[in-house]
Amino acid sequence: MSKYWEVLNGAKITKERLASYERKITTEPWYKPEAIGDFENYLAILKRMHSSDDINLLIGEARQHVGGDTHNLMNDIQKNFGDHDALRQMDRVLALRYNLKNHYDKSNTHKLKDVIFLDLCLEAYTR
């Protein structure tokens, strides 16, 4: 608990301030390691529902709207997501972005947003 209050006090947040919120915070947090797995699963659900930069979700959405060897490139990025060789991963991403541009199913214009969101996510991932 001392670290908790040290961080809050460092940010000039007091017990009184926490208790003054519309939704009062009056109970100190407690460590419950058996709940970590449940919270990780909950976070995964939230990310799937709300995250616009979850690369796996966006690849899944865009996969059905592209052709060519784009699916292989998507699989390669997902398989090597944690690759620490930044240049190799940038090369993969740039190849996929090129294919997205050139192999998008243009007859399905109402799903263009899925491909655009994936492209934006890939750009951010490259940075």
d(CA 53, CA 39): 20
Residue 50 — pLDDT band, cuts 50, 70, 90?
A: low
d(CA 101, CA 88): 20
List of residues 6+ apart from 78 with CB closer than 8 A: 55, 56, 59
Residue 49 — pLDDT band, cuts 50, 70, 90?
A: low
**55-74 residue pLDDT tens:** 888 888 888 888 778 889 99
**5-47 residue pLDDT tens:** 899 999 999 999 999 999 999 998 888 999 999 999 998 888 7
**88-102 residue pLDDT tens:** 989 999 999 988 887
**How would you classify residue 7: left for phi > 0, otherwise alpha for psi between -120 and 50, otherwise beta?**
alpha
Q: Supply the pLDDT for residue 107.
A: 67
Chain mean pLDDT for the chain? 84
- Burial (CB < 10 A; 0-12, 13-18, 19+), residue 50, is exposed
List of residues 6+ apart from 81 with CB closer than 8 A: 55
d(CA 117, CA 62): 9
